Amino acid sequence: MSEELAAAHAFDFSALGDLSEQAVETDQQFDLHYGIAQDEYLISCIYVAKMHALTAKAGRYGGGTWTKWYESKGMSEGSARTMTQNGDAFKSATVADLKLLPSISRKDLNLIARSGCAEQLTAAAGDSQRVQELLAQLKAEKDRADAAEKSAQNARKENAYFKELVKSAEAQTSKDAERREEAESRYESALADISGLKEQNAKLQQSYHDADESRIAANLQRQKAEAERDKAEARAKNAEGQLSGSRQVAEAAKLRADKLQEENAALKKQPIAAVVDEEEVDRRAGEKAYEIAAGMTADYKAQQEQDARDAYDSIILAGRSITSIVQSAKMQFRKLPNDQRETAINQFVHTLASAQGEVSACL
């Protein structure tokens, strides 16, 4: 390269002599790729390695040309050294070797695998076949990585989907539990209502039984009152009969008295030796007749009253026995099931009705 070309370039490569032209070209290529894009970093490394080789070839790094050059690019000694190692390593590296390079990450390899920089890598490395194979390997690695990532994404999606299913199932389970608790609460409330209704029904049944007993007692009381009335009427009729009998006795006594008076009158017509008080005789005869009639009436009335008291006491005793039987039957009815209880009560009521009919026939 001429001195005019070296002077025109920003960096002075004149110390490299005949290698200055290659150095200028390498410098230009480095500027085209360095810091432009991450996927061109390896290309930049290749040109750094070339520049290092040119300065070394000139002897003692071209009198400090190497150091001045990478400093002019804003690189430190360590960065220049690392890029040199990466560039040198690429000339004979495999995909596995590239993964071990200090500044080459998996992301860098994925970027390198893009087809857009294949020609530039080929131009930089100068070995088309090997670079193409390496790029193919990188692309295969990239494809496998993409497939793995896609599989991982699908797995994550499936995992998220199943998590949502589990979450939904848990929510449904929670709702089912709430519904079950609500149903159990309603069931318990219904049981409480049923229990309350049963208790209320039992009270109503008891009230019905009490009312029925009251009705029966009132009916019996009415019947008793009617019986007492009938007895009073019978006693009245009996008294009328007795009065009639007393009248008959009185009339018989009067007849006897009349007869005695007639006899007394006949005696008066007969001569008597003694004086007789006729009025006294009449008075005594009348008293005697009434005494006889009154005694007969009193005895008859006393016997009738005693018979009535005996009959009344017997009826009262029978009524009490019937009441005791009814109370005992009530206790037995409550021990029976509902279906049997109704039949037994109907039979018992029928028996009572039949007995009532027979008693009523005595009226």
Are 207 and 94 in the same domain?
no
Residue 168 in tokens:
């939904």
Do 202 and 58 share a structural domain?
Answer: no
| Structural domain contains residue 142 | no
| Inter-residue contact 46 to 54 (CB < 8 Å) | no
What does the pLDDT read at residue 221? 77
Which residue has better confidence, 289 or 107? 289
Q: What is the DSSP string of 61-104?
A: HHHHHHHHHHHHTT--HHHHHHHHHHHHHHTT--HHHHTTSTT-
Please check whether residue 160 lies inside any domain of the structure. no
Q: Are residues 335 and 249 in the same domain?
A: yes
**Statement: residue 86 has pLDDT above 50:** yes
The upper half-sphere exposure of residue 8, i.e. CA atoms within 13 Å in the direction of its Cβ, equals 9
**Rounded Cα distance, 50 and 44, in Å:** 10
Does residue 329 share a domain with residue 222?
yes
Domain boundary among 126, 151, 167: 126
Q: Reply yes or no on whether the pLDDT at 115 is more than 70.
A: no
Q: What is the pLDDT of residue 337?
A: 92
- Give per-residue pLDDT as tens, 197-248: 677 767 766 765 666 666 656 666 777 777 788 887 777 687 677 657 666 7
CB 39, CB 112: distance < 8 Å: yes
In a shared domain, residues 229 and 350: yes
Q: For the chain, what is the domain count?
A: 2
Residues 117 and 193 both lie in one domain: no
Place of tokens 């199943």: 162
pLDDT in tens, 116-168: 555 566 566 666 565 666 666 666 666 676 677 787 788 788 878 878 886 87
Say if 153 falls within a structural domain: no
Assess whether 356 and 225 both reside in one domain.
yes
Asked if residue 283 has pLDDT above 50, the reply is yes
Alpha-carbon distance of 49 to 86, in angstroms, equals 8
What pLDDT, in 10s, does the model give residues 238-278? 767 765 766 676 677 678 778 877 877 776 676 655 555 77
pLDDT at 343: 92
Range of the domain at 272: 185-360
User: Does 259 reside within a domain?
Assistant: yes
Same domain, 94 and 224: no
Q: Which of 59, 93, 126 is the last residue of a domain?
A: 126
- Tell me how far apart the alpha carbons of residues 361 and 223 are, in angstroms, rounded to a whole number: 13
Does 209 share its domain with 355?
A: yes
Q: Is residue 150 part of a domain?
A: no
* Of the listed ranges 145-154, 179-188, 299-308, the one predicted with least confidence: 145-154
50 compared with 90, residue with greater pLDDT: 50
Q: What is the pLDDT of residue 93?
A: 62
Domain contains 180: no
Burial (CB count <10 Å: 0-12, 13-18, 19+), residue 135 = buried
* Mean pLDDT, range 316-343, rounded to an integer: 91
Which of 40, 65, 47, 68 is closest to 55 using CA atoms? 65
Alpha carbon 350 to chain centroid, angstroms? 50
105 shares its domain with 208: no
Last residue of a domain, one of 126, 143, 160: 126
Note the residue count of the chain.
363
For residue 135, being part of any structural domain is answered with no
Distance from C-alpha of 261 to C-alpha of 266, rounded to nearest angstrom: 8
Q: Which residue bears the tokens 């970093």? A: 41
Query: Distance between CA atoms of 9 and 30, rounded to whole angstroms?
Result: 14
**Sign of the Cα pseudo-torsion (168, 169, 173, 174, in order):** negative
In this structure, which amino acid lies at residue 80? Answer: A
Q: What is the pLDDT of residue 327?
A: 92
* pLDDT of residue 111 exceeding 60: no
Averaged pLDDT of the chain = 76
Whether residues 218 and 84 share a domain: the answer is: no
In degrees rounded to 5, what are phi and psi of residue 73?
Answer: -90, 0
Residue 324 domain-assigned (yes or no): yes
Distance CA 314, CA 175 (A): 77
Q: Are residues 84 and 192 in the same domain?
A: no
